[in-house]
């Protein structure tokens, strides 16, 4: 059994079996990462291109390292957003990169649907590293991997996701993934960033954080994008932290052993208090490590689809 598609464009497009396969494969690679020699020859001779239309350090680095651990050659292409409008079309850029012989194109873009567009137009395997406000599937997969490591099962867990759900591709991918594996999901945040109609996704919606956190197994915090302030989504970061910031006191509403997660980069004192971020319940740095294993698994499995 392998994956069904040559691309990973979103969690929406996967089923539970696909997700479980990726997570299982990732545990194997996690073992590799603990070895003295952390590199395997699995994909030697293949080429990975990181095509990033948005600035990113952690995701790009993670993909780069994952690809290198699998022995693929890696090229990083950064395209500034300004040249998107004026310069070469997306299709031409992608075709050019494919003509150079890329086997994997890892793409991040500020417009939703770009990974789908490339997947449709290219023979190479396309991996979505974040498209607009749509999805960031490998982040959700590494979050699930981290949860599995700690809790061994996802089914029936109560997971609270807190913050700017509306604009968060991380939240979207996590909602789909958690639901597919049988978890219950609650969304918490100001009504401007968590519109009530999101209930139609099969989740609960809370504006009161204390209520929303009650007896949660997992608390996933999201990065607040500062530019949302002043565009009417919330009045100030001070007020935001007061209502939706994760403090030790608030965390006490969740289950005793609740895990605290954050995709990074964090705004300490805006969405999360420093002592919680660095506290015993935080698995934030483990998420980063697991990201490598999960991304190795994704590249490895996609290579298998193409044979």
Partner 1 sequence: MIVIRNGRVIDPSQGIDGVGDVLIEDGKIREVRQRENTESKGEKVKGRRHEKNTEEKVIDASGMIVIPGLVDIHVHLREPGYEYKETIKTGTEAAVRGGITSVCCMPNTSPVNDNSSVTEFIIRKATSEGACRVYPIGAITKGQKGEELAEMSLMREAGCIAFSDDGRPVMDSLMMRRALEYSKTLGVPVISHCEDLALSAGGVMNEGLLSVMLGLRGVPAQAEEVMVARDIALAELTKGKLHIAHVSTAGSVELLRSAKKRGLAAITAETCPHYFSVTEEAVGGYNTNAKVNPPLRGKKDIEAIKSGLHDGTIDVIVTDHAPHHADEKQGEFDLAPSGISGLETSIGLSMRLVDEGVLTLPGLIEKMALNASRIVGIGGGTLRPGSDADVVVLDPAGEYKVEAGGFLSKGKNTPFDGWTLRGRPVMTISLGRIHEWQ
* Catalytic residue set: 58-59, 86, 108, 136
The residue from 113, 229, 268, 279 that contacts partner 1 (CB under 8 A) is 113
Q: Which of 30, 109 has the CB closer to partner 1?
A: 109
Q: Which of 117, 206 has the CB closer to partner 1?
A: 117
What are the angstrom distances between the C-alpha of 91 and each of 94, 107, 113, 199, 203? 5, 13, 13, 36, 36
Kindly identify the residues of this chain, within the stretch 126-155, that bind partner 1 according to CB under 8 A.
131-135
Q: Which of 60, 116 has the CB closer to partner 1?
A: 116
Kindly identify the residues of this chain, within the stretch 238-257, that bind partner 1 according to CB under 8 A.
none
Assess contact for 129 and 157: CB atoms under 8 A.
no
The residue from 76, 112, 207, 225 that contacts partner 1 (CB under 8 A) is 112
Size of the site for partner 1 (CB under 8 A): 27
- The total number of residues shown for the chain amounts to 307
Q: Does 89 bind partner 1 (CB under 8 A)?
A: yes
Q: How far apart are CA 194 and CA 187, in angstroms?
A: 7
Q: Report the nearest approach of partner 1 to the CB of residue 118 (Å).
A: 10
Q: Which of 169, 295 has the CB closer to partner 1?
A: 169
Kindly identify the residues of this chain, within the stretch 166-185, that bind partner 1 according to CB under 8 A.
166, 169, 172
What are the angstrom distances between the C-alpha of 259 and each of 7, 166, 191? 31, 23, 25
Q: Does 6 bind partner 1 (CB under 8 A)?
A: no
Q: Does 12 bind partner 1 (CB under 8 A)?
A: yes
Q: Does 114 bind partner 1 (CB under 8 A)?
A: yes
Residue 126: phi and psi, rounded to 5, are -105, 130
The residue from 19, 22, 26, 90 that contacts partner 1 (CB under 8 A) is 90
Q: What is the DSSP letter of 5?
A: S
Q: Does 198 bind partner 1 (CB under 8 A)?
A: yes
Q: How far apart are CA 126 and CA 144, in angstroms?
A: 21
Assess contact for 93 and 51: CB atoms under 8 A.
yes
What are the angstrom distances between the C-alpha of 84 and each of 94, 136, 227? 12, 21, 21
Q: How far apart are CA 120 and CA 107, in angstroms?
A: 14
| Residue 76: strand pairing partners | 50
Q: Which of 64, 135 has the CB closer to partner 1?
A: 135
What are the angstrom distances between the C-alpha of 111 and each of 58, 99, 117, 130, 204? 19, 24, 11, 9, 27
Q: Does 201 bind partner 1 (CB under 8 A)?
A: yes
Q: How far apart are CA 169 and CA 159, in angstroms?
A: 17
Q: Report the nearest approach of partner 1 to the CB of residue 165 (Å).
A: 9
Which residues sit at the interface with partner 1, rule CB under 8 A? 12, 84-85, 89-91, 109-114, 116-117, 131-135, 166, 169, 172, 195, 197-198, 200-201
């Amino acid at each position: 059994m392998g994956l069904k598609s040559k691309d990973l464009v979103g969690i929406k497009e996967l089923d539970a079996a696909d997700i479980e396969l990726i997570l299982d494969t990732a545990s194997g690679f996690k073992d590799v990462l603990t070895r003295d020699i952390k590199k395997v020859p699995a994909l030697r001779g293949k080429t990975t291109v990181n095509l990033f239309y948005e600035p990113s350090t952690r995701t790009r680095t993670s993909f780069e390292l994952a690809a290198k651990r699998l022995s693929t050659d890696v090229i990083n292409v950064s395209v500034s957003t300004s040249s998107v409008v004026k310069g070469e079309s997306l299709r031409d850029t992608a075709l050019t990169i494919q003509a150079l012989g890329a086997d994997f194109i890892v793409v991040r873009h500020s417009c939703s649907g770009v990974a789908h567009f490339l997947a449709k137009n290219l023979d190479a395997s396309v991996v979505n590293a974040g498209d607009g406000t749509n999805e960031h599937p490998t982040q959700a997969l590494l979050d699930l991997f981290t949860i599995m490591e700690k809790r061994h099962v996802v089914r029936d867990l109560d997971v609270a996701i807190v913050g700017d759900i509306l604009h968060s591709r991380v939240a979207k991918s996590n909602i789909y993934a958690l639901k597919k594996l049988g978890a219950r999901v609650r969304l918490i945040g100001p009504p401007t960033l968590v519109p009530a109609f999101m209930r139609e996704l099969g989740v609960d919606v809370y504006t009161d954080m204390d209520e929303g956190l009650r007896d949660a197994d997992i608390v996933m915090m999201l990065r607040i994008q500062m530019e949302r302030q002043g565009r009417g989504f919330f009045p100030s970061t001070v007020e935001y932290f007061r209502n939706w910031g994760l403090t030790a006191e608030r965390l006490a509403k969740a289950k005793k052993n609740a895990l605290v997660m954050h995709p990074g980069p964090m705004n300490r004192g805006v969405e999360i208090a420093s002592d919680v971020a660095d506290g015993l319940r935080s698995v934030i740095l483990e998420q980063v490590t697991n990201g490598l294993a999960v991304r190795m698994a994704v590249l490895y499995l996609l290579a298998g689809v193409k044979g």
